[in-house]
Amino acid sequence: MSRASLDKQPHEVASMFDDVAANYDLTNDVLSLGQDRRWRKEVAKAVDARPAQKVLDLAAGTATSSQPFVKAGAYVVPCDFSLGMLRVGKKNHPWMPFTAGDGMNLPFRDDVFDAVTISFGLRNIQDTDRALRELYRVTKPGGRVVICEFSHATWAPFRTVYEEYLMRALPPVARAVSSNPDAYVYLAESIQSWPDQATLAGMMQKAGWSKVAHRNLTGGIVALHRGFKA
């Protein structure tokens, strides 16, 4: 299997990420023109991890996204359903408690984490509403969620240029740097089919999250959503 279909069968998506695990971080850096580093910094600020807090980093992949929370002194659990990603992550960060898990059925008790976060992974989960409810379930009362996800550019001319990049420029760049370029064609298509910022905020509220707010990064190419568990 080289490319997941947009109906997002879990085993297909997991297999796709297994295939790209070895060069995943480098490929993301190239394809985002280095913007992914800035986005990770903004996620870290929004999560605001504190010493001794428990943080779940869902769809953590190789745990690059988890490192700012580790540096803040939090106890971080990187969770992903791609065993290939987890193996690469464990090799790079052997002390971290990597956990295999599906976002629709998380392997954690209720009310465990002070903060839960997922970056660029929510749109790859088959049932978004169920995933949002699962994140809510494992969060302590008073805890928070931060979702960083590709979204929709807010300025029409920029949106046109961005979509042209996704569908025309991204595949040849991916062929040059990725072990599975077809996976990045799927990712481009999944970005285009993803709900806009306001729709995702409504889905979060429906799942139980309160005080839901969002802000755009890089002109809306990426959006940060945050909510709290009452």
Binding site feature residues: 62, 80, 102-103, 119
In this structure, what token pair is assigned to residue 184? Answer: 């990045």
In single-letter form, the type of residue at position 95 comes to W
Q: Which residues are annotated as a binding site for S-adenosyl-L-methionine?
A: 62, 80, 102-103, 119
For residues 59 and 21, what is the distance between their CA atoms, to the nearest angstrom?
Answer: 12
Q: Are 28 and 36 in contact (CB under 8 A)?
A: yes
Can you tell me the distance from the alpha carbon of 202 to that of 189, in angstroms, rounded to the nearest whole number?
22
Task: Tell me the longest C-alpha to C-alpha distance in the chain.
Answer: 47
Best CA proximity match to 149, nearest among 124, 166, 129, 130: 124
| Bridge partners, 136 (sequence order) | none
